[in-house]
Chain A
Amino acid sequence: MADIPLDRVAETATTEVEDLALRHPHGWVTRYVFSQDAKTIAIQYTATALAVGFVALFLSWLMRLQLGFPGTFAFIDAAAYYQIITMHGMMMIVYVLTAVLLGGFGNYLIPLMVGARDMVFPFANMLSYWFYLLAVIILLASFFAPGGPTGAGWTLYPPQAILSGTPGQESGIILMLVSLIVFIAGFTMGGLNYVVTVLQGRTRGMTLMRMPLTVWGIFTASVMALLAFPALFVACVMLLFDKLLGTSFFMPSLVELGSRLEYGGGSPILFQHLFWFFGHPEVYIVALPAFGIVSDLIATHARRNIFGYRMMVWAILAIGALSFIVWAHHMYVSGMNPWFGFFFATTTLIIAVPTAIKVYNWILTLWRGDIHLTVPMLFALGFIVTFVNGGLSGLFLGNVVVDVPLSDTMFVVAHFHMVMGIAPVLVIFGAIYHWYPKVTGRMMNDALGKLHFWVTFVGTYAIFFPMHYLGLLGVPRRYHEMGEASFFPPSAQMLNAYITIVALVVGAAQLVFLFNLLWSIRHGREAGGNPWRATSLEWQTPQTPPPHGNWGKERPTVYRWAYDYNVPGVAQDFIPQNMPPEAVALGPRLATGGVP
């Protein structure tokens, strides 16, 4: 065959992209409902996820009321308790944290931070949100289904997940599995957009090694999600078949209520492997965007360049890669060849190395920085301590011999709430306070923000620190009441009651945040385009909030990395990424800090 004149990819001249490629809204419906603008989709994602988050928060109240005052609330029996913990866990991890960090912040920040006009495939991006909403509706529908939602625990382990002793086995478990499958399909469409936009859609001058760490975190997490969710997808399909068709992928021979079931020959451990092959990367799918965001918050509010930028990037990538080979540390008590336990304990502890690099670099960024204790900064600092605390208890649980006695105690609950519950949630709050001015053009109220921070931060410590102690006493998790055992002192129950009261207060404090969020849309102080005097591109848009297409006629050109704060010999204390070198004013530092 002769030479083929390749139909060259129509390379769009990136500095002047014609606006035609974007689908502009024609009316209310295409502007606010079926919008293809990544920023609108981001707000839809965040709003939906926050709504789910408040449902899940309410569930945690119910759980705490039962644990703190067992027997007082008649409607929370053992079955209801299991349903509550299951829905709380699954909602928070998948439908809140993943959705806010990737669907919300990913959609809002990636195109703006890399200087793109939008995601590369806005239509698929829009579908991603509607699939997510459908998944949420299916999940919430299980509250109204016969038998109620599933009470299998968020890990959904078979065989109990689909047997008749488990609450919600009539329809709750089916709705849960279908909802997860829909969520994964929807996420895939969004995730492909995030990854391709970062790889192929950047503006002129924006090399990968000049991207803000937020983008690095979300990008790596998206890649991981695209590789980890398939395992959950397959596990859900197989479990659904076990439930609906009577296959025995995960079901061994069983006797239930005196009669032998039709199942036989399946492997429950296989489900655990598939689940945790998703489940452990999921921890870092939530953590890596938080790492990235917190790096940017700290650099901006401490007016210092991030320490060791390249190492930070490599640490993110190393954590992402390592997190795929540690999954069985969730299964030390499931029965495993001891050599596997040795392997997985080793890899688990190795992850501490890149993680420690990140923590040291955050501290070194703060070192002698010009720290402004703004609300986002408070949340970022709160994250660092909380994450270090949660990480240290992770070292206990990562070692087989220490883990075995602590397994399935409140110690585990305390550990994962500190490390992947509270820590990322603090970052989400900090990020909302930080980017709210860009989204709405107005600042959130500072006093309410500080009140929200201190109650949340101190309160979560008051909740979860004592839980470590309860765990060391041997109080089991997932029991709807502690019961009486010779090894608990009577004070353990008092501690439980105390935790419950704090949890109610901390939960109520989130209403302050909700009020602030809604009130400030109209009544907040006018923010201007760049209230934090930040360098990264999203603060340099011609209009705030940015319109569809983000950049007006011309996309920005990037000349430097995102961390030029307090550069010696430069008049202003920050240099935006898109400021040409010849425009940078030299000379003594301006008293205003360089606000132009």
Chain B
Amino acid sequence: MDTAFTEHRTREPAGGLATIVDDFSADQRAFRNVSWGKAMMWIFLLSDTFIFGTFLIGYMAARMSTTEPWPNASEVFALEIAGRHLPLILIAIMTFVLISSSGTMAMAVNCGYRRQRRATAALLVATAILGATFVGMQAFEWTKLIGEGVRPWGNPWGAAQFGSAFFMITGFHGTHVTIGVIFLLAIARKVIRGDFDHGRPGFFTGRRGRYEAVEIMGLYWHFVDLVWVFIFAFFYLW
């Protein structure tokens, strides 16, 4: 490295904290080999974590402060299938579908870096289909609960906040999944058209596309899955 750049560091290496600071604050990039797009997605996800975190904390606070009994989630979300009473069965299937979609997403990222255009696109579409299935099952669940009389302002079994928190949190998460599905399809289209092989500039941004876009998409998708795990644990299992 050019000595001119290091004039600040001509002193003996201090070791410890000072070295960490120097490394992190180094020339041009705080995170080496992390592109702008990926850094931006990570920071957005951090911010989004605070949104979901606040939603969940708000739900827990409401649940603890309400005076009415809280409905039993495993009974509310039970289904009768072939004459058998199965608690939480739909949620279990939904969770399985969403986690599986993370698997296909990861494979899509892998194929993208191998520049396997068709396989990448196919896996992205598969991920989108699994995501859409999840949203479809959520719509079914909403329909069922609304049919049983659950409303944001009340329900037949207990605290009104049950319905409020349910529709708000699953609705906000479902919106995230839906947006993800739309973007998955958009990126699949770019992949199959060869945009990432030829570096075609984006319509809005004018930036040249790279297969890294698939990975950035994957970050978002895995995040949405991870959030669901927390919603599952705190809303359905608690």
Contact = CB atoms under 8 A, between A and B. Distances in A.
Q: Do A and B truly interact?
A: yes
Interface of A: 1, 4-10, 14, 21-23, 120-123, 188, 191-193, 195-196, 199-210, 226-227, 229-231, 233-234, 237-238, 241, 245-249, 262, 264-267, 270, 273-274, 277, 559-561, 580-581
Given A9-B33, A209-B8, A245 B152 contact: yes
Contact of A265 (B68, B110, B172): B68
B26 interface: yes
B18 to A, nearest CB: 9
A241 B152 contact: yes
Q: Which 9 pairs across A and B sit closest by C-beta, in order of nearness?
A: A208-B25, A247-B164, A230-B50, A246-B153, A265-B66, A9-B35, A230-B51, A234-B54, A120-B36
Interface in B174-223: 204-208, 210-212
A319 to B, nearest CB: 18
B153 A248 contact: yes
Interface centre among A21, A188, A238, A580 (most CB of B within 10 A): A238
Contacts of A206: 27-28
For chain B, the bracket of interface size reads 35 or more
B79 interface: no
B58 interface: yes
B137 to A, nearest CB: 23
B24 A210 contact: no
Nearest to B36: A120
B164 A249 contact: yes
B62 to A, nearest CB: 6
B36 A267 contact: no
Given A192-B43, A209-B25, A200 B31 contact: yes
A234 B36 CA distance: 28
A218 to B, nearest CB: 15
Contact of B160 (A4, A265, A560): A265
A107 to B, nearest CB: 16
B149 to A, nearest CB: 15
A216 B44 CA distance: 20
Nearest to A23: B206
A192 B5 contact: no
B10 interface: no
Given A7-B113, A245-B152, A266-B161, A199 B58 contact: no
A200 B40 CA distance: 10
A195 B153 CA distance: 40
A211 to B, nearest CB: 9
B65 A270 contact: yes
Given A4-B110, A241-B168, A9 B28 contact: no
Interface centre among A206, A208, A229 (most CB of B within 10 A): A208
B58 A238 contact: yes
B7 interface: yes
Given A14-B28, A208-B24, A267-B65, A238 B168 contact: yes
B54 A205 contact: no
B26 A207 contact: yes
Given A9-B35, A202-B27, A245-B152, 6 more contacts: A205-B5, A208-B24, A226-B47, A247-B163, A265-B62, A274-B54
B204 A262 contact: no
Interface centre among A196, A264, A559 (most CB of B within 10 A): A196
Contact of A188 (B7, B47, B112): B47
A267 B54 contact: no
A227 B160 contact: no
B55 interface: yes
A341 to B, nearest CB: 19
6 contacts: A4-B114, A7-B210, A196-B39, A206-B28, A265-B65, A267-B62
Interface centre among B30, B47, B113, B160 (most CB of A within 10 A): B47
B120 to A, nearest CB: 12
A227 B26 contact: no
B211 A7 contact: yes
Given A207-B27, A209-B21, A246-B152, A188 B62 contact: no
B30 A123 contact: no
A196 B24 contact: no
A121 B47 contact: no
Contacts of B24: 208
A233 B50 CA distance: 10
B74 to A, nearest CB: 22
